């Protein structure tokens, strides 16, 4: 009876399509959207860094009013006038050699882009895992509430039977009080289950952005899980997006050192310029001037007040920090994978044991009920058997949820979710 009620609660009707709670999650979750926006920003940063290797074209223009005064030694008086100078220039610059500054910036931007992509994948898998967990929690708590509500009905029936037997003088006051206590316990457990369900449904709405549907079912178990802990670790080290993110950030830190060092070294480029200017002086039009030129340019910082040296030292320190963070991430991935694999094995064993417990508890209650009819068992034995079966049903429902979550956690740990 309890199983039928549970399946009816979480199942779907013949004319209602099953609801996939994860189908649209990647389109509605803000954490995924934020991670994808960061990925797009990193891609734009890479394009900006690559632009430093391409020709830089700009136009300069000037116009205005200029007051001029000219005094010549040995000649009394002065010459003064107002003119409106106009000039324009088109300039093309091309970097030829940057001592690793630009290549370091491009390499760092590429690594950060890769890190952003891996982080977006990690966030996506984390959100899917969260979706599975909250979905399984809602299904579990709905099943538990159904069991507890059925137990309330059963406890009330037992209480009514005890009252009738007491009125007929077939039982004692103690039997009646025991039935009342179990009825109160059943009511309390039902209220507690309702509270747990409300919390689970609130968590579901936080992750999915919508209320949990009434036809919610457990997601299908993930496929392709590793058979051994060693296989799981190997998959995690190869596929984990968290590890890829840490590796790419460490690589970006190394490129940042190259960029900082290059800023202190010679920068060589070529510049082409075409310019125009009028030739008016002191109110007299002297003609127009046009200029065309190609120049080889170079620059090198000789003294920067220590700022360039500080930038290099900071980049080296960040490289060391990123390297240590990579090592820490590697350890975390290994630990999480082994724990997830062990939890999966434990959850499988627990579910098998809980299923056997339900069967045994059901048979035990059936036997106790028959023995009570012939006077070999007391009313307390009946109440205990009812409680043991209800608790076994609850434990089995929880074990089903725990196994599903453990499998998805293992899939997330190896980067396969």
CA distances from 368 to 63, 360, 363 (A): 105, 12, 9
Domain 28-61+97-413 class, CATH top level: mainly alpha
**Quick one: what percent of the chain has pLDDT higher than 70?**
91
Mean of pLDDT values over 187-207: 94
List the Cα angle 134/140/146 in 5-degree steps.
135
Domain boundaries, the chain: 28-61+97-413
pLDDT in tens, 338-347: 999 999 999 9
Q: How high is the pLDDT of residue 286?
A: 58
pTM: 0.80
What distance separates the 2 farthest-apart alpha carbons in the chain? 142
Mark residue 129 as left, alpha or beta (left: phi above 0; alpha: psi -120 to 50; beta: remaining).
Answer: alpha
The count of C-alpha atoms lying within 13 angstroms of the C-alpha of 205, restricted to the half-sphere facing its C-beta, is 10
Q: What does the pLDDT read at residue 284?
A: 56
Tens of pLDDT, residues 85-116: 788 999 999 999 988 899 999 999 999 999 99
pLDDT value of residue 180: 86
């Amino acid at each position: 009876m309890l199983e039928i009620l549970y399946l009816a609660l979480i199942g779907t009707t013949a004319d209602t399509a099953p609801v996939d709670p994860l189908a649209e999650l990647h389109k509605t979750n803000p954490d995924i959207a934020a991670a994808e926006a960061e990925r797009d920003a990193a891609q734009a940063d890479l394009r900006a860094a690559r632009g430093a290797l391409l020709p830089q074209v700009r136009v300069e223009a000037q116009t205005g009013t200029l007051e001029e005064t000219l005094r010549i030694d040995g000649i009394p008086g002065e010459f003064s006038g107002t003119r409106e100078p106009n000039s324009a220039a088109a300039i093309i610059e091309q970097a030829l050699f940057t001592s690793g500054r630009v290549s370091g910036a491009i390499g760092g931007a590429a690594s950060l882009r890769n890190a952003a992509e891996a982080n977006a994948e990690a966030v996506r898998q984390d959100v899917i895992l969260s979706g599975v967990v909250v979905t399984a929690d809602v299904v579990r708590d709905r099943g538990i509430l159904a069991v507890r509500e059925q137990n309330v009905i059963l406890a009330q029936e037992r209480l009514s039977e005890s009252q009738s037997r007491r009125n007929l003088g077939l039982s004692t006051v103690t039997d009646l009080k025991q039935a009342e206590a179990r009825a109160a316990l059943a009511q309390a457990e039902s209220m507690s289950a309702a509270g747990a369900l409300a919390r689970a449904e609130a968590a579901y709405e936080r992750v999915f952005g919508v209320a949990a549907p009434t036809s919610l079912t457990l997601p299908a178990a993930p496929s392709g899980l590793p058979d051994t802990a060693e296989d799981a670790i190997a998959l995690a080290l190869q596929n984990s997006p968290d590890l890829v993110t840490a590796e790419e950030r460490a690589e970006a830190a190394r490129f940042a050192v190259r960029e900082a060092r290059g800023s202190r070294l010679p920068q060589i480029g070529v510049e082409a310029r075409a310019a125009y200017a009028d030739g008016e002086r002191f109110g007299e039009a002297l003609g127009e001037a046009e200029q065309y030129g190609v120049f080889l340019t170079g620059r090198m910082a000789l003294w920067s007040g220590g700022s360039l040296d500080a930038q290099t030292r900071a980049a080296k320190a960040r490289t060391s920090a990123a390297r240590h963070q990579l090592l820490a991430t590697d350890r975390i991935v290994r630990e999480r994978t082994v724990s997830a694999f062990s939890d999966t094995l434990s959850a499988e064993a627990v579910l098998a044991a809980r299923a056997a417990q339900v069967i045994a508890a059901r048979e035990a209650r059936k036997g106790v009920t028959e023995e009570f009819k012939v006077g070999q068992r007391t009313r307390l034995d009946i109440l205990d058997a009812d409680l043991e079966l209800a608790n076994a049903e609850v434990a089995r429902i929880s074990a089903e949820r725990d196994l599903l979550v453990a499998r998805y956690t293992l899939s997330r740990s190896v980067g396969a979710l």
